[in-house]
Amino acid sequence: MTALLELTKVSKHFGGVRALHEVDMSVHEGEVVALVGDNGAGKSTLVKIVSGVESPDGGEIRVRGEARRLESPRAAAEAGIRTVFQDLSLCDNLDAVQNLFLGQERYGPVWSGRRVRRHVMEEQAQRVLGSLSVKLRALNTPVVALSGGQRQGIAIGRALISDPAVVLLDEPTAALGVSQRREVLDLIHRLREQGRGVVVISHDMKDVRQVADRIVVLRLGAKVAEFQRGEYTPSDLVSAITGAHESTDDEGGDL
Amino acid sequence: MSISTSTAAGAPPSARARVGQVFEAAARGHRSIPVLVVLAIIWAVFYSQSSAYLSFQNITNLTLQIVTTAILALGVVFVLLVGEIDLSSAVLSGVCAAVAAGLVVNHGLPLAVGIAAGVVAGMVVTFIEAQIIMFGVPSLIVTLGGMVILQGLILVVLPPEFTISVAGTPFAKIASTAVPAGASYGLAAAGTLAYAGYRLFQRRERLSTGSLSSLAAVVVPSVLVAVVLFGGVFTLTRQRGLPMPLLILAVMLLVAWYATTQTRYGIHLYAVGGDREAAQRAGIPVRRMVLYSFLVLGACAAIAGMVDSSRQLGVSVTSGAGPLMLNAIAAAVVGGTSLFGGRGSIWSALLGALVIGSISNGVQLLGLSTEVQYFATGSVLIVAVAVDVVLSRGSLLPGRR
């Protein structure tokens, strides 16, 4: 089975600083891959490269086996990759439907002044939010009045409007309460059930262990370890992230 | 921290919570209600002092007095919605009026050419301002400097005697034309029918996708629109028909309402004002939206200037000077448009201009001194914004969100 998204030897330098060095990563259908690492490990650089915000200096990105150049967020979206940023990028003054379709509204002909086809958008919004089991009291309240979990649901729903193959979630559970965190983890499960590839960037080891099928560990810009579900202990994970037992860890030989 | 406001989501809805929800929805959906209350209080106070205040004649005068402010405030609302501000548009309105009147009166060109030239002049000036703002200079500074430059420019545009009299020329007809009562009622009927038809069309659209939509959502707003339109025409045609400036204002409000609430452009306008970064990431051309807002402002300023000079029967160095600029900004803000962008509606221009105009009209009618007018207008501005702050935070206690 070809991977939905496959990175081979992706590198990125900022001036003299090596942000990423020959990182390989792949995401398959219906798979949740967690990307973990300490601050400065290169997680956010990798997210920016895959979401089209930055372009890599070297290496190759394949989407469904096809080499793609992700030069802009739009190009990434067209390739079927959508990113939910950590700050969610929602407009607080707009309602759920307007936020879900922001930048991809369904609208009428030019003579009508590109009149928004609100009824079509509301129907699709209900379907997408329903598929994520996000419950809203009303579709027309500004999202500022919604809970953190509901906002996350809308941000993920927005990514799904264009039916992408791969969804990137940047720190989806940061700054959420316990019950809302569970809501978001359920959302991630539902994305997997829909057969999408999911990449989750997280600091929270508990969430990662709970949700990820595979964990990719980055340290100082290089991939130092990769764990399959059930084939590691929490201490394996921590030592890979911190590099504590580097000399004895045979996967950490990159440094 | 911000999550604490959402506790109602999971809890069973108690009666009190439901009342709170209704209040919340009313405050959010109909931000104009507090302004209408303020307006009613102002009218009641002045009416108790002089019964002439609410006579048909005075109401017609009042609406004519506020037209210039309202049209300019409409342009200011567009700029405020994208999170910018403008200080130059009042003087710009004088410049545009000078251009248009100069062409029509002194060069004998047709009225339509003069009007078109005035509007183009306004849009060119705001286009240049918008370019500099997009270059990174704050709009407050650009338009402050622009205001001073335009004060110089009006001296250049005006003929050597620094005044153009438009009395008895085609230019004066802009303000002096009145639509006869019969035709005005026809317009009101057409407006009501068009509105009801549009609501019906929307209802059929919603039903076609299987969502619920009650007939009341068509009937109630349509009846309201009918009451406002027919009531307005009845009041304003007591003297000699519906004055043209009011018709111009009504058409502009209608177009602006459609553009900001029914189109993709409207959503993008509010998105840019709400969160620029998020709008940018969603692929909205933020800079172009800011430019569009300034172009709308330029056109509004030009029309406000031409209507005003046609009503005053002349253009001079003082056109667009005086309190017009601050009144227009105050009107937009009193009406409920946020200075920080993304919140407010087109109607705030009309309602705010009505509030401010009602005060100055009443003060003049009662023969009170000018300082009373300034005190009252300033206080209303502050109170209106304070009320808005309380409503948007949902509490009288300071510091909550």
Q: Which residues from B are below 8 Å from A142, CB to CB?
A: 28
- Residue B4's pLDDT is 38
Interface test with A, best of B275, B284, B296, B401 (most A CBs within 10 A): B275
**pLDDT tens for each residue of A70-107:** 888 788 888 889 988 888 889 999 999 999 999 889 99
Mean pLDDT, to the nearest integer, of A122-146? 87
Does any CB of chain B come closer than 8 Å to the CB of residue A186? no
**pLDDT tens for each residue of B231-242:** 999 988 887 889
Contact (CB<8Å) A119/B206: yes
- Which structural domain range is residue A170 located in? 5-252
What is the model's pTM? Answer: 0.86
Mean pLDDT, to the nearest integer, of B353-358? 93
Q: Cα dist. A23→A225, A239, B181 in Å?
A: 11, 19, 78
Residue B391: which of B343, B327, B328, B332 has the closest Cα? B343
Residue A54 above 70 pLDDT?
Answer: yes
**pLDDT tens for each residue of B292-305:** 999 999 999 999 99
Residue A12's DSSP bridge partners are: A20
- Residue A2's pLDDT is 80
Nearest to A89 among B209, B273, B277 (CB): B277
Residue B1 above 70 pLDDT?
Answer: no
- Please provide the average confidence, as pLDDT, over all residues in chain A: 86
CA distance B252 to chain A (A): 15
Does any CB of chain A come closer than 8 Å to the CB of residue B209? yes
CA distance A123 to chain B (A): 7
Contact (CB<8Å) B275/A117: no
Residue A121: which of B273, B21, B262, B280 has the closest Cα? B262
- Please provide the average confidence, as pLDDT, over all residues in chain B: 87
Counting residues of chain A whose pLDDT is more than 90, the rounded percentage is: 22
- Chain A, 52 to 111: residues with Cβ < 8 Å from chain B are 73-74, 85, 89-94, 98, 102-105, 107
Residue B7 above 70 pLDDT?
Answer: no
- Residues A154/A130, Cβ–Cβ less than 8 Å: no
- Residue B310 to residue B293: CA distance in whole angstroms: 26
Residues 6+ apart with CB under 8 A from A10: A20, A22, A23, A24, A25, A46, A49, A56, A58, A59, A60, A61
Residue A246 above 70 pLDDT?
Answer: no
Does any CB of chain A come closer than 8 Å to the CB of residue B278? yes
Nearest chain B residue to A108 by CA distance is: B263
Contact (CB<8Å) B264/A116: yes
Does any CB of chain B come closer than 8 Å to the CB of residue A174? no
Is residue B200 exposed (0-12), middle (13-18) or buried (19+ Cβ within 10 Å)?
middle
Does any CB of chain B come closer than 8 Å to the CB of residue A114? yes
- Residue B77's pLDDT is 97
**How many contacts does A have with B, using Cβ atoms within 8 A?**
102
Residue B215: which of B229, B228, B202, B225 has the closest Cα? B202
- Residue B12's pLDDT is 42
Does any CB of chain A come closer than 8 Å to the CB of residue B281? yes
Q: Cα dist. A43→A5, A23, A25, A85, A168 in Å?
A: 16, 11, 12, 13, 12
Helices (H) and strands (E) in chain B, counts: 16, 4
Which domains does chain B show, CATH number per domain?
Answer: 34-180+237-391 (1.10.3470)
Contact (CB<8Å) B275/A91: yes
Number of domains in chain A: 1
Greater model confidence, A197 or B32: A197
- Residue A77's pLDDT is 85
Greater model confidence, B101 or A54: B101
**pLDDT tens for each residue of B310-336:** 999 999 988 888 889 999 999 999 898
Contact (CB<8Å) B278/A145: no
Q: Which residues from B are below 8 Å from A103, CB to CB?
A: 279, 282-284
- Residues A107/A123, Cβ–Cβ less than 8 Å: no
- Residue B24's pLDDT is 53
Does any CB of chain A come closer than 8 Å to the CB of residue B370? no
Longest CA–CA span in chain B (Å) reads: 75
CATH number where A125 lies: 3.40.50.300
Contact (CB<8Å) B263/A114: yes
